[in-house]
Amino acid sequence: MKALRKLWLRKFYKIKLGKHIFINIWFFPVALCSFLGGYWKFFFTGFLVALMHELAHVACALALKIPVSHITIFPFGINAKLKTEYIKNSGKEFFIAFSGPFLNLFLFWIATAISIFVSNEIVSFFADINLAICVINLIPALPLDGGRMLKSIVASKYGIIPAHNFVHKMSKISIFLIGIFTIIILFAGKFNFSLVLIFSFLLNNLSYEESLISHIAFKEIIKNHCKLKDSQILPAKIFCATEDSFASGIIRRLGCDYFLIVHVNNHDSKIVKTLTETQILSALTAHGIRIRYKDI
């Protein structure tokens, strides 16, 4: 009953505009306040910039043949959702994440050039908001573009699960520093709503990213038996492990675009057996995470 109530509320808060666009109902009172307060030009200019930022992600994703699920308009921003929870190709993920800040930086240069010849507060604000969105999105924290770009770079070398773990830790550090900076600004007597909003957004997202790591690992384990069959050819990563070490350590090294091979060494550092990741994961599934390499 509780789950149904949550689902109903989620649907109630969203209005469907076409097949792939949703709008949160709280957008309308916020937009109305902008008219009543006389700052609607700045409000909708900011929304236009946010929309172009997300459309850059969408255009890049579609160009790279990554399907897009929908776009949701929120009171303080716009979010484009891909159909897949994570992108297996680290190069594609990097370019999709990079496209948004790149467009903002390009628009900032254009608006700055125009402002030299045209003195207009909206043009100046357009330049400022593009630069601000570009800089904020380059923060190395998930789900911001900077975090996704960093994750794709790490994933290309170490695999998607180690990359998620690493960037998740970096996100904690970034959020901590933003929190400290926000507190300093508050004590200085200069309340900054934008900083509070960014800090709250990133902090709220931490638990989701943490659960996503486990979900990715789980999906990789389930699909492992057909990974090599589907791809036919995959690059291999070779590791050495002692006989007495726990086989569960392989889980954090799993990746979508490579296949693991483990050489098991005895106390004399001689290879006594060679195991594939499929063999190891099958043993973990059958006997539990406490199984050691010597028992497989």
Catalytic residue positions? 54
Q: Compute the 3-state secondary structure of the chain and give helix, strand, coil in percent, each to the nearest 5.
A: 65, 15, 20
Residue type for 33, please? C
Letter string b/e over residues 239-263, b meaning 16 or more CB atoms within 10 A of that residue's CB: eebeeebebeebbebbbbbbbbebe
Look at residue 130 and give its three-state secondary structure: helix
* Tokens 């520093």 sit on residue: 177
> Does residue 143 have a cis peptide bond before it, meaning omega lies within 30 degrees of 0?
yes
- Record the tokens describing residue 57, joined without a space: 């992600």
Measured distance CA(248)–CA(269) in Å, rounded: 21
User: How far is residue 7 from each of residues 4, 12, 50, 67, 70, measured CA to CA in Å?
Assistant: 5, 9, 27, 24, 17
Question: Measuring CA to CA, which residue among 290, 276, 254 is closest to residue 161?
Answer: 254
Distances (CA, A) of 181 to 66, 119, 132, 187: 37, 33, 17, 10
